[in-house]
Amino acid sequence: MNNRSAFDVMFNEWYAQFVYFAYYFIGDTEVCRDIVSDAFEYLWRNFEKVEEATAKAYLYTVIRTRCIDYLRRQNVHEEYVAATTLLSEKMVEMDLKHPDSRILRIRKAMEKLTPYNRQILESCYIHKKKYKEVAAELNVSVAAIHKNIVKALRVLREEVGTKGNQDEP
């Protein structure tokens, strides 16, 4: 059996059970399908290095790891949303006194970002695109998108947070 045939057999036999396995962790069928498809793509790219007898165990490990990575990213995102909401509520109180100050602080903070970081941040948070979509558009990994989002949010948090505290009496 050639590589293509062996891979096709594996894909057809295992795809559904791997989606179910990922669903145990994630609970979102579409995300699970993406994770499993990515894992099979990874297997295909490394098929020469993986023994056919251990391919199933290999895929279980890859899928489990990617599910955990996805959940970590979700937790970071949820923590950011909670922190941003709290920060927004505090800033709204302050901004009632100086309504344009918050917008000016955000604009100045955005200017400190690199054009690349700004583009990624705007794509994810303003245009509501998923990391995977932005990664595909920019032809980079999802991890690169995540890294740049973290970097951009750190800059915004530092700039908006510190300047916001200076405006208070």
Query: Is the pLDDT at 164 greater than 60, yes or no?
Result: no
**Mean pLDDT on 77-104:** 60
User: Given this model, what pLDDT does residue 36 score?
Assistant: 92
Name residue 6's amino acid. A
Give residue limits of the domains in the chain: 1-76, 98-169
Topology match between the domains 1-76 and 98-169: no
Fold of 98-169: Arc Repressor Mutant, subunit A (1.10.10)
Our CA dihedral for 42, 47, 51, 54, rounded to 10 degrees, sits at 30
Looking up tokens 């955000």 gives 106
Contact 131, 146 (CB under 8 A): yes
Contact 36, 15 (CB under 8 A): yes
Distance of CA 76 to the CA centre of its chain: 9
Orientation of helix 55-97 relative to helix 142-167, angle to 10° = 20
Q: How many C-beta neighbours within 10 Å does residue 75 have?
A: 10
Query: Is the pLDDT at 156 greater than 50, yes or no?
Result: yes
As a 3-state breakdown, the chain gives helix, strand, coil percent values, each rounded to 5, of: 85, 0, 15
Give 42-87 pLDDT, tens digit per residue: 888 888 888 878 888 888 888 988 888 888 777 766 666 666 666 5
- The reply to whether CATH 1.10.1740 applies to domain 1-76 is yes
The percentage of residues in the chain with a pLDDT greater than 90, rounded to a whole number, is 8
